[in-house]
A and B are shown apart, each in its own frame.
Chain A
Amino acid sequence: MTYGRTVTDSGPGPALALRGLTKRFESKVAVAGVDLDVPTGSFFGLLGPNGAGKTTSLSMAVGLLRPDAGRAYVLGHDVWSDPVEAKRRLGALTDSARMFDRLTGSELLAYTGLLRGLPQDVIDARAAELLDVLGLADAGRTLVVDYSAGMKKKIGLACALLHAPRLLVLDEPFEAVDPVSGALIRDILIRYVRNGGTVIFSSHVMEVVERLCTHIAILADGQIKVVGTTDEVKGGRELEDVFVDVVGGRVATGAELSWL
């Protein structure tokens, strides 16, 4: 068994493929048939307004939420029927799920490494390096529950990176993160993609997506409305204008809220 990049992937093809993912909560359809190919080596941004189904789609893609219909493949391995192989190649940062936050950062990394079945010396070396690079080594014995939002995102990212996955699925990695931590996360992700990794992340911050991504998909009402490379999606316009057009938002004209 190997612990990193040399894991053989079954042939070329998308790093993440979603086929007809559907999820219904009671009477509300949260995700209505999402098809998506995330090319290997791409930096993929999943845009969408609040409640569009971003978190739901990504949760189904990484095997946390059982879809009503559809399939998700990580480098050719079905997340739901072949979870061991799929999840070995996958690192995920969830926005909605808590971490085991009564551990310190170092303990959480050690725990994650043990769960991943990594050898002790590999965990020790990688955890120390990750804590150092992410600026979390100073936190010492502070429990993760007492971390700031930015530190929580960073330790979550460190846990997702620990086993050197081929695909990173990040739910709102820049949400509530201060600019300094955000820049650091960005740099690490850029380097990860440059080294051959694939990233898909959800966001509703246009600037970040526009600056980082090679590919963009816009999700609204539980469906992919637009997908393509960043240039294709923008079509020469501002990304924000495209987004508002696609999502069908309204702009305040000035007559409303006169009491403000």
Chain B
Amino acid sequence: MAVTPQPPVPGDPPHIPAQRPAAVPLAAPPGAVPSQVVGADGGAGIFAPRPEPIRGGEPKVSYFVRLKLRILRNAMRGKASRIVLFILGIFFGLWAALVGFGAFAGSSVAGDDLRPTLAAFAGAALVLAWVLVPLLFFGVDETLDPARFALLPVPRRTLVLGMLAAAFVGIPPVVTLLAALGSTIGAISKGGIAAGVVAVLGAAVGLAVCVAASRAVTSAFARMLRSRKVRDLAALLIALAGISCNPVFQLVFALVENGESKQATTIAGVLSWTPLAAPFVAYVDAIDGNWHLVAARLAIGVAGVAALLWWWLQTIESAMLGTASTGAAKKAKAVDGKPVRAFLPAILRSLPAGRFTGLVGRELRYWFRDPRRRASLISLLAASVVIPFAFTFGFGTGSSAEEQEAARQSAGFSDGALVFSLLIAGAFVGLVLVNQFGNDGTAYALHMLTNVPGQVELAARAVGVGLLTFPLLAAGTIGVSVLSDHTGQLPAALGVGLCAFGISVGTAGITSVLAPYPMPDSTNPFAMNTGQGSAKSMLSFVSMFVTWILASPLMIAYVFLPDRLQWILLPSGLVWGFALAWLGTRLAGHLLERRAPEVLAAVTPKHG
């Protein structure tokens, strides 16, 4: 446990006011509360201490749920805009639930030979999405930060169960449950009410797997990301995981199109015995009447949840202990006589030292030092490498014999896949800037006190992320185009990618000034506040869509230009992207000039 009450040390009485008879029990039992002092006379005077501190009831799991609900409600109180965004979120969630419901229902009414495979893939995809999406895109809802409970006498079992229960409160879990319930359609129509009940149970256990896995993995990653050595490894792991998803997708597409695939059936068979898919295929066994198999699958799911919770508990404890110990280890010699030179990163030292180089230098240092930004760096890497890889190799390059037809059908798309993927990857990069002021929090006050003009501020931030991402994106594009033998598309792909990147920087700059929101002061770089954040983080979608629309002329040109003229896309993409990045940054700078105090107020965490 993070904090255990210290038993009083004999001969070293705890702090007690002088009026009290200081009769300290010589050998207090471990865990005794220091102030538990028995009056010498047991008297009834006004200062006579009670023999026992009042014992409150045991904390209940339901408290955590009620706390979460209360926080959500308070965040909404009196804020019309937040209510509107929350309702929008509900509609968005309902739409996603409908799509998911359709997918699960579709897999459940498929033919008997296909159903187990599709159900397994659908379930596994859902769990993987719960694990990967928070790592790559949004972060995890940490309205209830475990560190807040460090000083409260909450048994760790109650704590972890309570946190889990609270994690079920929110839009995504409800959406997931609704989607997974789609399988009841097929279960009831094929296997009757009993199979339907199993489907509902399976969906519930499956949801628990999703939530527990998402919590455990983000919490573990958060701990890993605190050490810089592990960061690169973590980035690589996620990138590899993303890339390795592709063969699976490929198989699923082939399966849907061609009916059956031996590989897919085998993989699904294996998945069905892991917590990833087991709860989601239980109803299939119920339709077949294999009731002992049903029990086994549900048990696997429950065991998976238990194992994940155990893992989560380990990382929660380290989160509760905090990071106070990490700083002491760094002991180095005193600063040399040149603070400015030491502050500026090497690539900026040849430039004249001034306000702009200072700002860019601080941005670059922060991308590597701030845990939250490090997590964003992973997203950047994923965007720059995984997305082009996924699109180029995911479609149309099917190697196995069964997929020839699929390969042939998507061949037309494959031509443009690389270019198209760069449109998405480039636009994705800007997302890391959407809440750039929220990430820095109240530290932005320094820039206001020193009169940093809004335009300089925004331009420095754009240059900072550009210095990091531009080489990454270019290298990723060149690498993928060479590896996939699409070098002919390289100019167009680079043009579109860098153009989309430039536009996304511009749109994200504007979004970041118009709709900043505070980030929780948590040790977890994936932490998000549902109350305030998730509604506004929807705006990152808007920013991405706008980027796509603004970059679309280039895509249209790509489709209609003859091959030998496609090189034009590289210079024109660079010019168009740069122009819009400049324009967006100028505009955002103007806005910031007028809105700086409002931005600072918006990113200040609200207490009480």
Binding site for B on A (CB under 8 A): 26, 62-66, 83-84, 87-88, 90, 92, 94, 96-107, 109-117, 120, 123-124, 127-128, 131, 137-138, 140-143, 145-146, 159, 254-255, 258-260
Instruction: Say yes or no: is B310 at the interface (Cβ < 8 Å to chain A).
Output: no
B600 touching A107, Cβ below 8 Å:
no
A119–B48 Cα distance when bound, in Å, is 67
Given A103-B365, A114-B354, A258-B47, A63 and B330 touching (CB < 8 A)?
no
A61–B447 Cα distance when bound, in Å, is 16
24 A-B pairs with C-beta separation under 8 A = A63-B448, A64-B600, A66-B598, A83-B451, A87-B449, A90-B449, A96-B442, A98-B442, A99-B443, A99-B446, A100-B366, A102-B365, A102-B366, A102-B370, A106-B335, A106-B342, A110-B339, A111-B361, A114-B353, A114-B358, A115-B358, A124-B341, A143-B369, A255-B46
Query: B307-348: which have CB < 8 Å to A?
Result: 326-328, 330-335, 337-344
A252–B328 Cα distance when bound, in Å, is 43
B449 touching A137, Cβ below 8 Å:
no
B358 touching A141, Cβ below 8 Å:
no
Contacts of A114 in B (CB 8 A): 340, 343, 353-355, 357-359
Contacts of A159 in B (CB 8 A): 446
Instruction: Say yes or no: is B601 at the interface (Cβ < 8 Å to chain A).
Output: yes
A66 touching B353, Cβ below 8 Å:
no
Instruction: Say yes or no: is B440 at the interface (Cβ < 8 Å to chain A).
Output: yes
User: What string of 1s and 0s marks CB contacts (under 8 Å) between B348-368 and chain A?
Assistant: 000001110111011001100
A103 touching B340, Cβ below 8 Å:
no
Q: Would you list the 5 A-B pairs with minimal beta carbon distance, nearest first?
A: A146-B327, A114-B358, A110-B343, A97-B445, A97-B442
A63 touching B449, Cβ below 8 Å:
yes
Query: B271-305: which have CB < 8 Å to A?
Result: none
A120–B338 Cα distance when bound, in Å, is 9
A65–B171 Cα distance when bound, in Å, is 35
CB distance from A72 to the nearest CB of B (A): 13
B335 touching A115, Cβ below 8 Å:
no
Instruction: Say yes or no: is B441 at the interface (Cβ < 8 Å to chain A).
Output: yes
Instruction: Say yes or no: is B155 at the interface (Cβ < 8 Å to chain A).
Output: no
Instruction: Say yes or no: is B78 at the interface (Cβ < 8 Å to chain A).
Output: yes
Instruction: Say yes or no: is B50 at the interface (Cβ < 8 Å to chain A).
Output: yes
Instruction: Say yes or no: is B597 at the interface (Cβ < 8 Å to chain A).
Output: yes
Residue from A105, A116, A145 within 8 A of B450 (CB atoms): A116
Instruction: Say yes or no: is B2 at the interface (Cβ < 8 Å to chain A).
Output: no
CB distance from B358 to the nearest CB of A (A): 3
Query: B425-440: which have CB < 8 Å to A?
Result: 440
Query: B14-73: which have CB < 8 Å to A?
Result: 46-47, 49-50
Select from chain A the residue with minimum beta-carbon distance to B447: A115
Instruction: Say yes or no: is B604 at the interface (Cβ < 8 Å to chain A).
Output: yes
A104–B333 Cα distance when bound, in Å, is 13
A83–B447 Cα distance when bound, in Å, is 12
Instruction: Say yes or no: is B452 at the interface (Cβ < 8 Å to chain A).
Output: yes
A94 touching B451, Cβ below 8 Å:
no
A241–B341 Cα distance when bound, in Å, is 53
A84 touching B451, Cβ below 8 Å:
yes
A110 touching B340, Cβ below 8 Å:
yes
CB distance from B285 to the nearest CB of A (A): 53
B365 touching A64, Cβ below 8 Å:
no
Given A115-B355, A117-B355, A258-B47, A142 and B327 touching (CB < 8 A)?
yes
Residue from A96, A100, A107, A145 within 8 A of B342 (CB atoms): A107
Given A87-B451, A98-B443, A99-B446, A115 and B339 touching (CB < 8 A)?
no
Assuming A65-B597, A124-B341, A255-B46, what are 15 further A-B pairs, CB within 8 angstroms?
A: A64-B445, A66-B597, A87-B451, A92-B449, A96-B442, A103-B365, A106-B339, A110-B343, A114-B343, A115-B446, A115-B452, A124-B337, A127-B340, A137-B334, A258-B46
B334 touching A138, Cβ below 8 Å:
yes
A120 touching B353, Cβ below 8 Å:
yes
B343 touching A107, Cβ below 8 Å:
yes
Given A100-B440, A101-B443, A103-B362, A141 and B330 touching (CB < 8 A)?
yes
A140–B335 Cα distance when bound, in Å, is 6
B450 touching A112, Cβ below 8 Å:
yes
Given A26-B78, A64-B597, A141 and B332 touching (CB < 8 A)?
yes
A140–B331 Cα distance when bound, in Å, is 7
CB distance from B461 to the nearest CB of A (A): 13
Contacts of B604 in A (CB 8 A): 96
A102–B369 Cα distance when bound, in Å, is 6
Given A99-B446, A114-B355, A127 and B339 touching (CB < 8 A)?
yes
B354 touching A117, Cβ below 8 Å:
yes
CB distance from B366 to the nearest CB of A (A): 6
CB distance from B226 to the nearest CB of A (A): 12
CB distance from A140 to the nearest CB of B (A): 4
Contacts of B370 in A (CB 8 A): 102
B335 touching A137, Cβ below 8 Å:
yes
CB distance from B132 to the nearest CB of A (A): 27
Contacts of B331 in A (CB 8 A): 140
B447 touching A128, Cβ below 8 Å:
no
A87–B453 Cα distance when bound, in Å, is 13
Select from chain A the residue with minimum beta-carbon distance to B371: A102
Contacts of B354 in A (CB 8 A): 114, 117
A199–B600 Cα distance when bound, in Å, is 25
Contacts of A90 in B (CB 8 A): 449
A65–B335 Cα distance when bound, in Å, is 35
Contacts of B442 in A (CB 8 A): 94, 96-98
B332 touching A123, Cβ below 8 Å:
no
Select from chain B the residue with minimum beta-carbon distance to A163: B450
Contacts of B452 in A (CB 8 A): 115
A111–B343 Cα distance when bound, in Å, is 7
CB distance from A131 to the nearest CB of B (A): 7
CB distance from A252 to the nearest CB of B (A): 12
Contacts of A117 in B (CB 8 A): 354-355
A217–B337 Cα distance when bound, in Å, is 42
A123 touching B339, Cβ below 8 Å:
yes
A124–B342 Cα distance when bound, in Å, is 10
A112 touching B446, Cβ below 8 Å:
yes
Most buried by A among B334, B344, B355, B357: B334
Select from chain A the residue with minimum beta-carbon distance to B362: A111
A258–B49 Cα distance when bound, in Å, is 9
Most buried by A among B50, B343, B353: B343
